[in-house]
């Protein structure tokens, strides 16, 4: 479970902003909490967190920072390349051109803190710590001297002094040479089979980031083999009054070159497909599967949506469905997985995109219900201020984000404000009680 996240100098985020999934202690509301056992005692953790704010306030930048850090940790970087970090455009002298990404999280009854700092060329610092009965202690730390030398200290708590894993880690730390300074030490440990590193990187792999243009990869293929997923999505679309009564997955075999000509595929893509033994290409929501031994043929796999029009069953393709139905097709697999698998964390940007308020609220309530007995969490951004209602949320689940006078995104939780019982939250928000609303100025001429 994610407990805390700090990021600085990334896109619209300048000075550090801190987000926490630890509940505020002075609230008696016990909803949507999970109790975890740590070395320092029992802690309560939230299952949900939501960001609200005006356009261009930094909501997407925050989600994008998670996506960048996750990709950097899980996939690593090639030697000699830059880091690819997208930093704040303004000059903030005290940050020294360095960005920070720091996670505190719960994994297998241990609380870890992992973080790193970098600029566009190299890693400056990196650390992995674990919680004891009293405080966090380091497993390894990495620093860069003023002369540019990388120094890594591996502590006894990481691995015993003469163990094979400790010896391998000691060898790997020496390999961080000039052209590898853009690589995380954690990734090198993971890539070489160090078990502790595999567990940590595995936690980051379970962070799922969904942007408005993110499509669930291979969903038609999954639905063709997973009948329970297909039934869940069909039933959900039926209950949500989308006009969809049922789903089916259709597949047809067509000649590859007829297909390439019809779809006007670029020559480079045709050559790439001819070279592969098997693979999937997605075009306009349709999936084309290429199987070994059938290079001249393509299997087209599509989801078909059954509607009842004038008492007749009619099938629609995905591109014929409304934007709202297509958005639900992105989100419903997440809801399904929350009930099926544990220890997943979803970051969803613009969860309310193309959805009615009642549908957005229903999904968020269902997410909370499905998370109840798991370690799963969801963090989302939304524009729909009608969702800000304490009947459905704890006060410390709601966060506001806005830009300050220097153009930096700033973050603050609703729990920082005193809220009266039965207060009209929507009216208070729109009246500027909590900030994070657009300021529409008059014509300057």
pLDDT in tens, 106-150: 999 999 999 999 999 999 999 999 999 999 999 999 999 888 889
Q: Please give the mean pLDDT across all residues of the chain.
A: 87
Closest C-alpha to 249, from 276, 289, 212: 289
Show the domains of the chain with their CATH numbers.
1-206+343-445 (3.40.50), 219-323 (no CATH)
Question: How would you write 287-355 as a 3-class SS string?
Answer: EEEECCCCCCEEEEEEEEEEEEECCEEEEECHHHCCHHHHHHHHHHHHHHHHHHCCCCEEEECCCCCCC
Contact call for residues 323 and 354 (beta carbons, < 8 A) = yes
pLDDT at 185 over 70: yes
pLDDT at 360 over 80: yes
Helix count and strand count (H, E) for the chain: 11, 20
Tell me the mean pLDDT in the region 277-297.
56
Pairing of strands 41-46, 123-131: unpaired
Judged by average pLDDT, the poorest of 109-113, 242-246, 276-280 is 276-280
Provide the pLDDT confidence category of residue 225 given band limits of 50, 70 and 90: confident
pLDDT in tens, 381-395: 999 989 988 889 999
pLDDT in tens, 23-60: 987 777 888 999 999 999 999 999 999 999 999 999 99
pLDDT at 291 over 60: no
pLDDT at 177: 67
pLDDT in tens, 67-79: 999 999 999 988 8
pLDDT at 437: 63
In terms of pLDDT, which residue wins out, 134 or 427?
134
Tell me the mean pLDDT in the region 232-239.
96
Residue 8: both structure tokens together: 């600085």
Provide the pLDDT confidence category of residue 293 given band limits of 50, 70 and 90: very low
pLDDT at 320 over 60: yes
Compute φ and ψ for 175, nearest 5 degrees: -85, -5
pLDDT at 210: 92
Using alpha carbons only, give the angle 67, 68, 71 rounded to the nearest 5 degrees: 85
Provide the pLDDT confidence category of residue 290 given band limits of 50, 70 and 90: low
Query: Would you call 423 helix, strand, or coil by DSSP?
Result: coil
Who contacts 66 (Cβ-Cβ below 8 Å, separation ≥6)?
A: 5, 207, 209, 347
Read off the pTM.
0.88
Alpha-carbon gap, residue 77 to 66, rounded angstroms: 17
pLDDT at 25: 72
In terms of pLDDT, which residue wins out, 310 or 441?
310
pLDDT at 416: 86
Alpha-carbon gap, residue 109 to 426, rounded angstroms: 39
Tell me the mean pLDDT in the region 148-168.
89
Tell me the mean pLDDT in the region 320-332.
91
Contact call for residues 105 and 3 (beta carbons, < 8 A) = yes
pLDDT at 251: 77
Total residues belonging to the chain: 445
Pairing of strands 207-210, 99-107: unpaired
pLDDT at 442: 60
pLDDT at 147: 81
Alpha-carbon gap, residue 99 to 120, rounded angstroms: 9
* Percentage of residues in the chain having pLDDT higher than 90: 60
pLDDT at 426 over 70: no
């Amino acid at each position: 479970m994610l407990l805390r996240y700090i990021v600085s100098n990334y896109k619209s985020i300048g000075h550090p902003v801190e987000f926490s999934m630890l509940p505020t202690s002075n609230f008696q509301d016990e909803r949507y909490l999970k109790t975890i056992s740590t070395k320092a005692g029992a802690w309560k953790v939230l299952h949900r967190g939501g960001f609200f704010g005006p356009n261009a306030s930094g909501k997407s930048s925050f989600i994008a920072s998670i996506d960048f850090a996750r990709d950097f940790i899980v996939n690593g970087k090639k030697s000699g390349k830059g880091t690819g970090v997208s930093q704040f455009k303004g000059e903030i002298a005290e940050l020294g051109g360095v960005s920070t990404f720091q996670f505190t999280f719960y994994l297998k009854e241990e609380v870890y803190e992992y973080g790193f700092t970098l600029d566009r060329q190299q890693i400056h610092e990196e650390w992995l710590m674990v919680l004891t009965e009293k405080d966090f202690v380091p497993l390894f730390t990495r620093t860069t001297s003023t002369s540019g030398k990388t120094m890594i200290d591996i502590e006894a708590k990481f691995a015993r002094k003469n163990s094979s894993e400790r010896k391998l880690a000691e060898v790997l730390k020496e390999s961080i040479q000039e052209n590898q300074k853009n690589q995380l030490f954690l990734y090198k440990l993971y890539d070489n089979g160090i078990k502790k590193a595999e567990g940590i990187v595995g936690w980051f792999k379970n962070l799922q980031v969904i942007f408005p243009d993110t499509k669930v990869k291979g969903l038609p293929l999954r639905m063709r083999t997973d009948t329970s997923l297909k039934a869940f999505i069909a039933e959900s679309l039926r209950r949500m009054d989308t006009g969809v009564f049922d789903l089916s997955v259709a597949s047809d075999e067509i000649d590859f070159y007829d297909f390439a000509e019809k779809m006007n595929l670029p020559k480079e893509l045709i050559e790439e497909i001819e070279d592969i033994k098997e693979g999937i290409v997605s075009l306009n929501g349709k999936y084309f599967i290429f199987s070994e031994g059938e290079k001249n043929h393509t299997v087209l796999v599509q989801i078909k949506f059954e509607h009842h029009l004038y008492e007749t069953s009619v099938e629609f393709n995905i591109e014929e469905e409304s934007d709202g139905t297509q958005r639900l097709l992105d989100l419903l697999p997440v809801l399904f997985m929350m009930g099926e698998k544990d220890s997943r964390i979803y970051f969803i940007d613009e969860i309310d995109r193309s959805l009615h308020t009642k549908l957005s609220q229903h999904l968020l309530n269902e997410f909370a219900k499905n998370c109840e007995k798991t370690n799963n969490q969801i963090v989302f951004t939304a524009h729909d201020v009608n969702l800000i209602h304490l009947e459905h949320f704890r006060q410390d689940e709601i966060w506001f984000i806005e830009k300050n006078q220097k153009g930096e995104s700033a973050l603050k939780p609703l729990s920082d404000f005193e809220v009266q019982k039965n207060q009209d939250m929507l009216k208070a928000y729109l009246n500027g009680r909590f900030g994070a609303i657009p300021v529409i100025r008059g014509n300057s001429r």
